[in-house]
């Protein structure tokens, strides 16, 4: 069970409120997001594209653009090698659009998740060489592909790497000093390089590509109006990738996503418009949630179950009918992916709860037969359910392979680096990783990770940080509208969390359908009555009431005869605008019973 804790960060909230024309509660929320100085707060509330960081601060950025310009002028043929997730797809699209506007002869290759695995490989290089492609540009991959890039150089090809993943390293056994292992490309653009001066490291591969195009276009002589139009349009793809790659919505990411969301409703990209319509978002204001849980998974589905080329072709499609067909196919694939994921989760839970795996601090689960593309999704769900790092493995073409998802207290990339002798290949970062084992060493990996694991029980307890206790009576339409200034919400900028204690539950109404919320009628400590919404598809609220107060409580709650049922809630306020009737609503995100 999560521990509830009220954030205790201090500031002069009244001064901040007066300065920015907001309520003290909103000022408190902003401070809780680690905005300390007036400059931080102003950037958070009012940042624009003028506040984005200078791309030339990235090591090798100017060098990469100069090389690309040179090779375009020499009429060399380019191939972009991307990745099969949303970030890789969007990064590939951004580079193609930018290089073509600069006059380049450019095509692309997206690795097949199952046949190729992650990133650039020798087969993709040999294919490009056979096709007469002379310059390879990677995006969202390449930083850990030293051997593969050396192979391309041996063939006489030119290679430029753009990536955003952690740089591989060797550690000196005596001194403990880490030595970066940069690939031998002609230019390596990655904000995680030790010698990189870019002030914000948390950008995705598509943003690295977008930044590169912003420098390349004027360097190649593209007129400013055309250059501006394209970079503005490509901000939509950069923002989509930022959310879908779960980058923190801080610093310039916040500006990129906010501006991308603002522009997407007017996007000229026929494929994105078709996907918005196919997923039922055509009449709605697109949010970061829609990016991460509707549009993104649909684009990801082709790379998981088929070829990510389908999603890239959708972004490049110029025919409305064809775009509609492809978008509907992606929606179908995503529905199939959901069913496969649910099946895998059920198998994993059964394995864990019927064995000693339940006692492990790092879950390593082998699920032969599942589609390898959903291993990471299953790992993410296991991490949420058991509040600990999880790695899910299955059988791939190259052997046992899988994905891991971590918690804040556990650097998964570093933990796996301690056991690199077990891997044919691996990569990732603090919170996630992908890996392929050398032979059947699942038990060795499980034992090794758990033996070296230093996680404490406190580390394994999820903490829900509450921004403030807030009576329902404080909430007004203006306040709800003010909270929208804090969007986009997501990783690194969570939706505000409000709490209220000691609510008396008078009655509970079940929804008319599975998807309808539970209606909880309560009285607050001041005697005011409210109705709360709880999306409780598994029926846990009434079961928990019976378990806490005794059998029969659920029935009493449903018929309104219960007495002494008290709850604390975590909630978020909103505005319900149904058929022209506006009302405030309160959605419960968590609750606990008390005596």
What percent of the chain is modeled with pLDDT above 70?
99
Between residues 278 and 577, the one the model is more confident about: 278
Residue 540 CA: distances (Å) to CA of 361, 537, 547, 558 = 26, 8, 10, 14
Q: How far is the C-alpha of 388 from the C-alpha of 396, rounded, in Å? A: 25
| CA separation for the pair 247, 207 (Å, rounded) | 11
Q: What is the pLDDT of residues 30-50, one digit of tens each?
A: 999 999 999 999 999 999 999
pLDDT in tens, 315-372: 999 999 999 999 999 999 999 999 999 999 999 999 999 999 999 999 999 999 999 8
What is the mean pLDDT of the segment spanning 91-119? 94
pLDDT of residue 1: 67
pLDDT, residue 169, reads 87
pLDDT digits 0-9 by tens, 507-558: 999 887 777 899 999 999 999 999 999 997 667 899 999 999 999 999 999 9
| pLDDT surpassing 90 at residue 117 | no
Report pLDDT for 154. 98
In this prediction, residues 5-26 reach a mean pLDDT of 96
Is the Cβ–Cβ distance between 354 and 365 less than 8 Å? no
Which residues on adjacent β-strands are paired with residue 465?
5
Encoded tokens for 212: 């590169």
State the chain's mean pLDDT as an integer: 95
Nearest CA among 226, 307, 224, 238 for reference residue 52: 238
What does the pLDDT read at residue 537?
64
What is the mean pLDDT of the segment spanning 264-270? Answer: 95
Q: What CATH number was assigned to the domain covering residues 355-451?
A: 3.10.310.30
- 175 pLDDT above the threshold of 80: no
pLDDT of 443-476, one tens digit each?
A: 999 999 999 999 999 899 888 999 999 999 999 9
pTM of the model: 0.89
d(CA 489, CA 345): 27
CA distances 265 to 11, 49, 227, 268, 548, Å, are 37, 18, 21, 9, 48
Domain boundaries, given as residue ranges, for the chain = 55-264, 355-451, 497-594
At 431-448, the pLDDT tens digits run 889 999 999 999 999 999
* Structure tokens belonging to residue 291: 């990016």
Per-residue confidence band for 503, with pLDDT thresholds at 50, 70 and 90: very high
Q: What is the pLDDT of residues 377-394, one digit of tens each?
A: 999 999 999 999 999 999
Closest among 81, 74, 79, 57 to 189, alpha carbons compared: 57
Question: Which of 116, 169, 109 has its CA nearest to residue 138?
Answer: 109
CATH superfamily of the domain spanning 497-594: Nucleic acid-binding proteins (2.40.50.140)
DSSP assignment of 133-201, as one string?
--EEEEES--TT-HHHHHHHHHTT-EEEEE--SPPPEEE-TTT--EEE-----SEEE-TTSTT---S--
One-character DSSP codes across 406-471 = --TT--HHHHHHTTGGGEEEEEEETTEEEEEESSS-HHHHHHHHHHS----TTTTS-EEEE-EE--
Q: In 3-state terms, what secondary structure has residue 398?
A: coil
pLDDT for res 8 = 85
Helix, strand counts (H, E) of the chain: 21, 20
CB of 110 within 8 A of CB of 157? no
In CATH, the architecture of 55-264 is Alpha-Beta Complex (3.90)
Residue 92 pLDDT > 90: yes
Q: So what's the pLDDT on residue 524?
A: 97
């Amino acid at each position: 069970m999560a521990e509830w804790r009220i954030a205790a960060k201090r500031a002069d909230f009244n001064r901040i409120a007066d300065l920015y024309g907001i309520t003290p509660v909103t000022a408190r929320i902003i401070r809780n997001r680690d905005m300390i100085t007036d400059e931080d707060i102003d950037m958070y509330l009012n940042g624009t594209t003028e506040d984005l960081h200078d791309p030339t601060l990235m090591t090798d950025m100017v060098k990469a653009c100069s090389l690309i310009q040179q090779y375009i002028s020499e009429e060399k043929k380019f191939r972009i090698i991307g990745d099969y997730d949303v970030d890789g797809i969007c990064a590939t699209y951004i580079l193609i659009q930018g290089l073509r506007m600069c006059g380049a002869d450019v095509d692309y290759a997206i690795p097949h998740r199952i046949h190729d695995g992650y990133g650039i490989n020798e087969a993709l290089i040999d294919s490009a060489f056979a096709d007469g492609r002379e310059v390879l540009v990677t995006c969202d991959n390449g930083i850990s592909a030293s051997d593969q890039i050396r192979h391309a150089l041996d063939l006489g090809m030119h290679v430029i790497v753009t990536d955003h993943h952690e740089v591989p390293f060797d550690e000196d056994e005596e001194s403990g000093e880490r030595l970066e292992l940069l690939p031998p490309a002609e230019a390596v653009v990655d904000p995680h390089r030790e010698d990189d001066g870019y002030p914000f490291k948390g950008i995705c591969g598509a943003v690295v590509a977008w930044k590169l195009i912003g420098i390349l276009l004027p360097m190649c002589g593209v007129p400013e109006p055309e250059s501006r139009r394209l970079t503005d349009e490509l901000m939509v793809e950069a923002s989509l990738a930022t959310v879908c790659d779960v980058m923190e919505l801080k610093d310039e990411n916040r500006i990129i996503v906010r501006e991308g969301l603002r522009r997407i409703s007017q996007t000229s990209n026929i494929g994105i418009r078709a996907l918005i319509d196919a997923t039922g978002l055509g009449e709605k204001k697109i949010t970061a949630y829609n990016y991460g849980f509707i549009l993104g998974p649909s684009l990801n589905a082709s790379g998981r179950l088929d070829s990510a080329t389908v999603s890239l072709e959708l972004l490049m499609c110029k025919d409305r009918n064809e775009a509609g067909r492809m978008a509907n196919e992606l929606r179908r694939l995503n529905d199939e992916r959901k069913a496969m994921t649910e099946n895998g989760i059920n198998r994993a839970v059964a394995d864990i709860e019927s064995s000693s795996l339940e006692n492990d601090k790092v879950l390593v689960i082998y699920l032969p037969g599942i589609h390898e593309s959903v291993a990471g999704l299953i790992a993410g769900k296991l991490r949420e359910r058991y509040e600990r790092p999880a790695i899910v493995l299955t059988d791939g073409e190259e052997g046992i392979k899988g994905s891991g998802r971590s918690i804040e207290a556990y650097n998964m990339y570093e933990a796996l680096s301690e056991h690199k002798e077990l891997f044919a290949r691996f990569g990732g970062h603090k919170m996630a990783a992908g890996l392929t084992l050398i032979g059947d060493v699942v038990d060795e990996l499980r034992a090794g990770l758990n033996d070296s694991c230093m996680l404490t029980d406190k580390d394994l307890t999820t903490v829900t940080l509450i921004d403030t206790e807030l009576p329902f009576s404080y909430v007004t339409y203006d306040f709800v509208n003010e909270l929208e200034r804090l969007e986009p919400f997501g990783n690194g900028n969570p939706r505000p969390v409000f709490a209220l204690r000691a609510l008396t539950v008078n009655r509970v109404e079940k929804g008319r359908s599975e998807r309808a919320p539970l209606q909880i009628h309560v009285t607050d400590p001041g005697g005011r009555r409210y109705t709360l919404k709880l999306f409780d598809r598994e029926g846990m609220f009434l079961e928990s009431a019976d378990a806490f107060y005794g059998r029969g409580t659920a029935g009493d709650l449903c018929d309104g005869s219960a007495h002494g049922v008290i709850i604390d809630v975590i909630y978020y306020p909103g505005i319900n605008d149904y058929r022209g009737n506006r009302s405030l609503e309160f959605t419960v995100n968590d609750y606990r019973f008390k005596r």
